[in-house]
Amino acid sequence: MPPWPEGFATTPEERDAVLRLSAMHRALPKRLFELAAAVGTATRCVEAVLDGRAAGDLDRKRLANADPGALRARVEACGARVVVPGDMEYPASLHDLADPPLVLFVRGDRLDELVPRVAVVGARNATYVGKDVAKAIGRGLATAGVVVVSGGARGIDSMSHEGALAGGGRTIAVLGSGIDVTYPKSSGRLLERVAQCGAVVSEYPPGVPAEPFRFPARNRIVAALAEAVVVVEGAAGSGSLITAEHALDLGRPVYAVPGAVNNPLATVPLELIREGAAMIRGADDLVADLGRLDPAGERSGAALGLSVAEEAVFEALTGPTMAEHVAQRLGWALPDVL
């Protein structure tokens, strides 16, 4: 897709108009993008919407009442900033979408410095094994210098963020709510850590609640930000499949972690593999395929910031195993291993 029109939001007046347009948080991004292509600038988009184009009555009323100064103050109050098309920070990869976000609200580091990026997605109600795999992939990507992108949700999303942070890397969480709205509440502390070691991103201004239809919309941004998408677990019809489909539409490679055929959460990964997605066993496979570094390089426990005892256990682990087996191999007492 072509980018937003040149000069769409380059002046202070146009940036104010973008903030006003962001108040229409139920308007379809695709219709706003098409309107921008037709009229050229954000101020003309405002005029067109107020004249009855590209939005419903409720959003038109929101636009008419929107105060850009008040919106900007609310954004700054939650420690965020406004990124609009034309800014160096606005990711060019979002222009691959037929419905790129009109604006991004960002907390944390600059998005143009958070590269390269790989998305890791999957089930909210993930298995223990799935969570462990997601965390290991996040950690492995981080140690390879890759930024992990996910949705901040519980389950696979949160564990991939946790893995990236544990690996001393950076990560991006894309919200399906306003930039100041934590959903789920349990992700609050994690999102604060993400903002300190990466970025929290939303296309919605402060105060916009998390609603079901916003999460599929969020998934398109996750897929477009990344140069590849990894699916760890997902049931039939889940959001992880939606993200994978967005990635395929955008020409991004899709990778999947296989699971047991009788596990409902393996449905999406196995379906993707059957349809041609690359199967990976972990971060090393993925990093090798992406050509980022030699996966046989140094990956010691010390490099991961582990203590001497933790490093000994780390080196004893060759795959999923029982704690008793590790204790026997090391000659340690079981409580010490645990």
Give me the pLDDT at residue 319, please. Answer: 53
Query: How far, in Å, CA of 135 to CA of 112, rounded?
Result: 25
Mean pLDDT on 222-243 = 94
**Which tokens hold the place of 277?**
């997605």
Q: At what angle do helices 128-143 and 283-290 cross, to 10 degrees?
A: 40
pLDDT in tens, 159-204: 999 999 999 999 999 999 999 999 988 899 999 999 999 999 999 9
At 335, the amino acid letter reads P
Cross-strand partners of 202? 105
Query: How far, in Å, CA of 264 to CA of 9, rounded?
Result: 46
Query: How far, in Å, CA of 53 to CA of 50, rounded?
Result: 7
**Which tokens hold the place of 253?**
């490679």
Give me the pLDDT at residue 295, please. Answer: 39
Delimit the domains of the chain by residue range.
Answer: 12-100, 114-290, 302-337
pLDDT in tens, 249-284: 999 999 999 999 999 999 999 999 999 999 999 999
Q: What is the pTM of this model?
A: 0.85
The helix (run of H) or strand (run of E) holding residue 150 is strand 147-150
Query: How far, in Å, CA of 325 to CA of 317, rounded?
Result: 10
Q: In whole angstroms, how far apart are CA 5 and each of 34, 39, 88, 110, 170?
A: 10, 9, 15, 23, 32
CATH of 114-290, one of 2.40.10.10, 3.40.50.2020, 3.40.50.450, 3.10.129.10: 3.40.50.450
Is residue 197 within 8 Å of residue 168, measured between CB atoms?
no
